[in-house]
Structure formats: C-alpha cells, structure tokens
C-alpha cells in the first residue's frame, strides 16, 4: 500500500512524497507513468522492476523514470520506504538536458535508470525537501529556482559511466544491498556480510567497488548519513541519534558528517531554522545592535554627563600649566652643557698618599 502527498506544484513541475508499507514482498500491480520523472529515495529499500530490469532503490540512489514504461515494485523491506518524486514540466526538463548536450531520451541516466547519489546531492535534496515541506521557509520564486537547481544537479554527469555487470553479479550486488538495508544501523563485519551473500570478502569488495563506484564501507556510512539528514530536523539528542544509526560515538558521527557535508550535525540543524534571509533561505548573519536595528539603543557615554563625579586625570601641560618638563638635551635646551664625565679610580694605578717614598 502506497500513499502520495503533494509537497509543491508550479508550472515547472510537481513534487510529491510517496510512502509505502510492506503489505507483501510480491510485486505490486503494474503501474504506469506517462511522464518523465526523477525519484529521490529517502528511507527504506525496494526493487523497481522496469523494462525487464531489477533496479534496487535505497537512499544512496537516484532513479530516472522514462515516460510511457510500465513498472512494478517488489521486495519492500520491513519498515516501509519513502521517496520524493519530481515530475518536471517536459519543456523545462528538455531545456536542462539539451543544455548538457543530450536528447531527453538518450541521456545516460535515463538509459541506465539510476545513478549513485553523492553526499552533496543527498544534502541538496534534503534542503529542498525541507523548504517545500515548510510553508514559511521560502517563497514560490525561490522554490522554483531550487527545484530546477536540484534537477540540474541530479542530471549532471559525474565520473565515468559504470560498467554493466553480468546477471550473477547483479544478483550478488542486490542481495548485498538488501542485507545492508536491514543491518546498517548495527555494527557488522565484512566477513559477516560476505558469508551472508555467499561470496568471499575480497571478491565482494572488489565487485562492489567496480560496479557501484564506492567501497562497501563507505556505502554503509552514506546510508547512515542519509538517514541522519531526515532525522536531524526533528531530533533533540544528537548522541542518541548517532548511536541509533550505528556510529560508535558522538565524535565519530560528527567527523563522518563533516567529511560528507562540510558541516557538523549541529550546524546543519541550525541552518534549517526558519530565519529568513533576503532570498527566503535561512540567514546566518548575527544581529547587529545598532540604532538601525534598535531605534531606542543608545551607546553609553563615559563622560561627566553620565557620571557627575567623573574627573579625568590631568596628563599634559595644557591641563597643568605649572608643569615644566626638565630639559635634558641641547636640542630642547640650547643653554644645556653636559658636565665632564668622572672616571672611576683604578685600584692598580692609584697613587699612594701619606706614606714614605
């Protein structure tokens, strides 16, 4: 059973949140989309059956739907799944793709049906999703601009195209992803994963890196961080969240988050607070305590007006006419004559007096 919630609609496209519950692992009834779509999985995992292919959907993937193709969804994991589906206006989508040098139907991602979501793309998607979910986060003009920016980011080619694996290799990778989706919040070992999917650790890590473009360990970390992006706006305890996601400590979580997204979890959460800047996005400028921001603000004047007993200490001749500086050099006192220097007596050469010669 799936439910759809409209988040945003404009002449440039429709954005919906789709959530599904695992009523059964069997394939759903055949569905059909007449439009080209881009899907950003946020939580959970399922298998997308389209055009005779089995495409694994999890938060580390972006899915590309070609209009007019029937498909089915199967094998949802316990806990269900959630994804954001963008249905762009066809003219806007063609403009974006053609600006990259492709026809819409021949774009490599629409032909491959998926791409790996980088941490930068995951954070971009989370930011746009937060803006669309919060009615006062920004205005419609900003939403339109951010929607187009997200589509450009998702369609931009990054790195060399991944090689096409054989059917047995695809099954091995799919079983590995299914296992990781259920175990990524726990502390697991590579030998346990390899044994569960029926491969040696060396072979599994080599195949996974070659065809997914990322190591198995980083894939697990990215699953945890993708979940953190959705949980941080509504959680109070960062340490508890870190442990729930499988990190060993608060510092371990913070280090991984900063490496992936360029900020700490606390800084990311503060950036989502509804303080609107000039363009509608959160502003991080500190408040300036001036008369412009506070008309009643007057700086304190440290004078006799504010302290009648305050008397400044006289420091110059102007305030003390009787003060005369002592002349010390001929430049400042022409009549100054230095006295002769007295040489200290030398006990070895001193003349003895008062005695016989």
User: What are φ and ψ of residue 130, in 5° steps?
Assistant: -65, -40
SS3 84: strand
Q: Could you give the CA distance from residue 50 to residue 27 in angstroms, rounded to a whole number?
A: 11
Q: Among positive and negative, which fits the CA dihedral 145, 147, 151, 153?
A: positive
Asked if residues 104 and 65 have their Cβ atoms less than 8 Å apart, the reply is no
**Res 299: pLDDT:** 46
Q: Could you give the CA distance from residue 132 to residue 152 in angstroms, rounded to a whole number?
A: 18
89-122 as b/e, with b when 16 or more CB fall inside 10 Å? eeebbeebbeeeebebeebebbeebbbbbbbebb
**Res 143: pLDDT:** 87
**Res 37: pLDDT:** 96
Q: Could you give the CA distance from residue 131 to residue 137 in angstroms, rounded to a whole number?
A: 5
Instruction: Output the tens digit of pLDDT for each of the chain's 357 residues.
Output: 688 999 999 999 999 999 887 666 667 777 878 999 999 999 888 889 888 888 989 999 999 999 988 888 887 777 889 999 999 999 999 999 999 999 998 999 999 999 999 999 999 999 888 888 776 767 888 889 999 999 999 999 987 666 778 889 999 999 999 999 989 999 889 999 999 999 999 999 999 999 998 999 999 999 999 999 989 988 889 999 999 999 999 999 999 999 999 999 999 998 887 544 433 334 333 344 444 444 444 444 444 444 555 555 555 444 444 545 545 545 445 555 555 555 555 545 444 444 433
Please give the DSSP secondary-structure letter assigned to residue 340: P
Asked if residues 220 and 227 have their Cβ atoms less than 8 Å apart, the reply is no
**Res 160: pLDDT:** 61
Q: Could you give the CA distance from residue 39 to residue 52 in angstroms, rounded to a whole number?
A: 19
**Res 78: pLDDT:** 78
**Res 293: pLDDT:** 41
**Res 2: pLDDT:** 80
**Res 272: pLDDT:** 82
**Res 179: pLDDT:** 92
**Res 33: pLDDT:** 86
Give residue for tokens 């996974």.
208
**Res 312: pLDDT:** 52
**Res 161: pLDDT:** 61
Residue of 200, 199, 219 whose CA lies nearest to 209: 219
- CA angle, corner 81, sides to 191 and 122, nearest 5? 75
Q: Could you give the CA distance from residue 223 to residue 348 in angstroms, rounded to a whole number?
A: 93
Quick one: tokens of 58? 């999890």
CATH number of 1-161: 2.60.120.10
Pure H helices in the chain: 90-99, 108-112, 119-133, 140-155, 167-183, 190-197, 201-212, 216-231, 238-244, 250-261, 265-271
Residue of 238, 125, 233, 226 whose CA lies nearest to 185: 226
pLDDT one-digit tens code per residue, 216-243: 999 999 999 999 998 998 888 999 999 9
Q: How far is CA 304 from CA 300, 309, 314, in A?
A: 12, 7, 15
pLDDT one-digit tens code per residue, 120-144: 999 999 988 888 877 676 788 888 9
Give residue for tokens 């506070």.
294
Rg over alpha carbons for the chain, rounded to the nearest Å, is 37
């Amino acid at each position: 059973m799936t439910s759809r919630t409209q988040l945003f609609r404009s002449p440039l496209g429709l954005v919906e949140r789709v959530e599904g519950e695992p009523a059964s692992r069997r394939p759903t009834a055949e569905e059909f989309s007449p439009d080209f779509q881009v899907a950003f999985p946020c939580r959970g995992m399922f298998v997308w059956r389209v055009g005779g292919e089995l495409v694994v959907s999890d938060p580390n993937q972006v899915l590309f739907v070609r209009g007019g193709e029937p498909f089915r969804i199967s094998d949802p994991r316990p806990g269900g799944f959630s994804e954001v589906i963008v249905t762009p206006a066809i003219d806007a989508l063609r403009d974006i793709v053609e600006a990259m040098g492709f026809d819409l139907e021949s774009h490599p991602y629409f032909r491959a049906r998926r791409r790996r979501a980088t941490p930068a793309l995951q954070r971009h998607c989370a930011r746009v999703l937060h803006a669309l979910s919060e009615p006062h986060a920004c205005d419609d003009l900003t939403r339109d601009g951010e929607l187009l920016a997200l589509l450009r980011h998702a369609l931009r080619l990054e790195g060399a195209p991944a090689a096409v694996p054989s059917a047995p290799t695809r099954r091995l990778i799919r079983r590995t992803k299914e296992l990781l989706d259920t175990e990524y919040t726990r502390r697991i070992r590579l030998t346990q994963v390899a044994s569960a999917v029926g491969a040696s650790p060396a072979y599994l890590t080599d195949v996974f890196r070659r065809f997914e473009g990322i190591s198995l360990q980083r894939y697990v970390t990215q699953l945890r961080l993708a979940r953190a992006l959705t949980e941080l706006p509504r959680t109070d305890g960062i340490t508890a969240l870190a442990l729930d996601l499988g990190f060993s400590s608060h510092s371990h979580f913070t280090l991984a988050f900063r490496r992936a997204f360029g900020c700490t979890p606390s800084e990311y959460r503060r950036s989502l607070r509804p303080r609107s800047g000039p363009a509608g996005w959160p502003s991080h400028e500190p408040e300036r305590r001036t008369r412009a921001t506070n008309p009643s603000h007057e700086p304190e004047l440290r004078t006799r007006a504010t302290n009648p007993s305050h008397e400044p200490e006289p420091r110059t001749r102007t305030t003390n006419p009787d003060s005369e500086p002592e002349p010390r050099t001929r430049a400042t006192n022409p009549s100054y004559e230095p006295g002769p220097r007295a040489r200290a007596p030398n006990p070895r050469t001193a003349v003895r007096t008062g005695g016989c010669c």
